[in-house]
Amino acid sequence: MLCGRTNVNKFLIEEQRRNPALVGDFSMLISDVVRSCKAIAQGVSRGSLAGVLGDEGRDNVQGEAQKKLDVLANQAFIHHCEWGGHLAAMASEEMDDIYPIPADNPRGKYLLVFDPLDGSSNIDVNLSVGSIFSVLRCPENCSGAAPGTDDFLQPGNRQVAAGYALYGPSTMLVLTVGNGTHGLTLDRDIGEFLLTHPNLLISPDTREFAINASNERFWEPPVQRYVSECLAGKTGIRGKDFNMRWVASMVAEVHRILMRGGVFMYPRDSKDLSKPGRLRLMYEANPMAMIVGQAGGLASTGNERILDVQPTSLHQRVPVILGSRDEVERIERYHREHESGEDQPFRSPLFSTRTLFRVD
C-alpha cells in the first residue's frame, strides 16, 4: 500500500488546526521530539551491538546509578530539540538543573520536560523501556530574560501536550495534545510513525492491578486495604478474581492499561520517609496523568488529582495511582475513609496480618 495510514506529521498538523491555542511551530516541536525518540529506539534495539549497555559510572541527581543509555537518550533529546527555535528551555530527569536554549539558537515559546529513558533497570536485561515527555507554555516573563526553574513549576493541568515512546516488541508513540490519546507505531521500513490506535479509551473498571509487591509492608493502609481486597478475589468483598502484573517500567505499565485497562500504583510508602513516593511529578506523573485522563482514566496521589498538584521543585516525587476510573476513585475513597477513621473495621488485627501471599 503506497498511501493509507496517517503519518505523525499529518496527525500533528491536523491536531494543531483543530486547536488554535497551539501556537506557532508546535507541530515542528513535537516532530523534533519524535526524531529524538526514533534515535533512542535505534540505540535501544541495537543493544550490545552498539556498545550502549551497562552503567555510566556515576549517579544522577536522584542518586540513582546512570546507565550509558540514560546519558545517550538525554543527549538525543538535547541534540534534536535545542536548535529548532521552538523551545525556551528543557528539563530532564537526568540533569540537575534546567537547560536553557543556548544564546546562539533562537528561543521559542515552549518548555520541554522529559524522562529520556524510563524503566532503565530493564535495559541490560532486554525488556521494555520508554521515553516520557511533556510540553508546557513558557510563562509571559520567559520572553525577556532566559527562563528559570520557577517557569517550569506549573501544575500538570497546564500541560499543552504529553506523550511517551515505548521501545517494546514494536516501537510506539502515544500522544495527547488535549484532544484524546492516540497511538502511532513506528514503521521501520519507511522510518515513520503511523497512526494505528486513534482515540484510546481505558475501560472504567478492571480485574488487573500493578504494584511492586515487595514493598507491601511499607505501603499506606488504604493501599494495603485495596490490594488485600483484590487478592481475596471471588470470595472477598470485590466478588471477582484479580490478576497482577509488574514490569518495573512505567511506560510499559501505562501502555498495558491503555490497551486493556488496569490500575497502576506506586504509592507513598514508609521505606524512606524523605521521599513522598518514587515517581517524579514533572517527568513521569504529570505526563502520564494527562495521557490517562485524555483516555477516560484517572490519576491521583490518593489524596488529590495528580494534575492539580502544584510543583514546588523540579525533581519532586509524588505517590501515583492511575488507570481505570472506578478503581482509582475507590482507592481515593479508601484514603478519605482512612483520614476520617471510617476504615476502622479494615484495620482489625485480622486485616493487618494479611499479606500478599497469605490470607489469615
| Residues in contact with ligand F6P by the rule CB under 6 A | 118-119, 121, 212, 248-250, 253, 266, 278-279
Smaller CB distance to ligand F6P: residue 269 or 332? 269
CA 318, CA 281: separation in Å to the nearest integer? 6
β-sheet bridge partners, residue 67: 55
Tell me the closest approach of the beta carbon of residue 279 to ligand F6P, in angstroms. 6
Residue closer to ligand F6P (CB basis): 151 or 269: 269
* Least gap, CB of 126 to ligand F6P (angstroms): 16
| Minimum CB distance to ligand F6P smaller for 206 or for 249 | 249
Our CB check for ligand F6P shows the closer of 109 and 278 to be 278
State the CB neighbour count (10 A cutoff) for residue 193: 25
55 versus 241: smaller Cβ distance to ligand F6P: 55
Angle at 321 between CA 317 and CA 323, to 5 degrees: 135
Nearest-approach distance from CB 5 to ligand F6P, in angstroms: 29
- Residue closer to ligand F6P (CB basis): 26 or 266: 266
Q: How far apart are CA 283 and CA 306, in angstroms?
A: 12
Nearer residue to ligand F6P within complex by CB, 32 or 284: 284
| In the complex, minimum distance from the CB of residue 119 to ligand F6P, in angstroms, rounded to a whole number | 4
Q: How far is the CB of 249 from ligand F6P (least distance, A)?
A: 5
What burial letters (b/e) apply to 330-358, b meaning 16+ CB within 10 Å? bbbebbebbeeeebeebeeeebeebebee
Q: Measured from the CB of residue 161, what is the shortest distance to ligand F6P in angstroms?
A: 20
- Give least dist CB 208 to ligand F6P, A: 15
Q: Is 76 within 8 Å of 92 (Cβ atoms)?
A: no
Reduce the DSSP state of residue 73 to 3 states and report it: helix
Q: Name residues whose C-beta falls within 8 Å of residue 323's C-beta, 6 or more positions apart in sequence.
A: 202, 206, 257, 261, 262, 263, 264, 292, 297, 298
196 C-beta neighbours (distance < 10 Å), count? 16
The rounded radius of gyration (Å) of the Cα atoms in the chain is 21
Ranked by CB distance to ligand F6P, the top (closest) residue is 250
Q: Name the residue nearer to ligand F6P (CB basis): 82 or 253.
A: 253
C-alpha span between 237 and 356 (Å, rounded) = 16
Alpha helices by DSSP H, listed for 82-208, are: 149-152
How far is the C-alpha of 4 from the C-alpha of 145, rounded, in Å? 46
By beta-carbon proximity to ligand F6P, the closer residue of 89 and 322 is 322
Q: Provide φ and ψ at 14, rounded to 5°.
A: -65, -40
What crossing angle do the helices spanning 250-260 and 286-294 adopt, rounded to 10°? 10
Instruction: Please report how close the Cβ of residue 101 comes to ligand F6P at its closest, in angstroms.
Output: 27
CB of residue 278 to ligand F6P, shortest distance in Å? 6
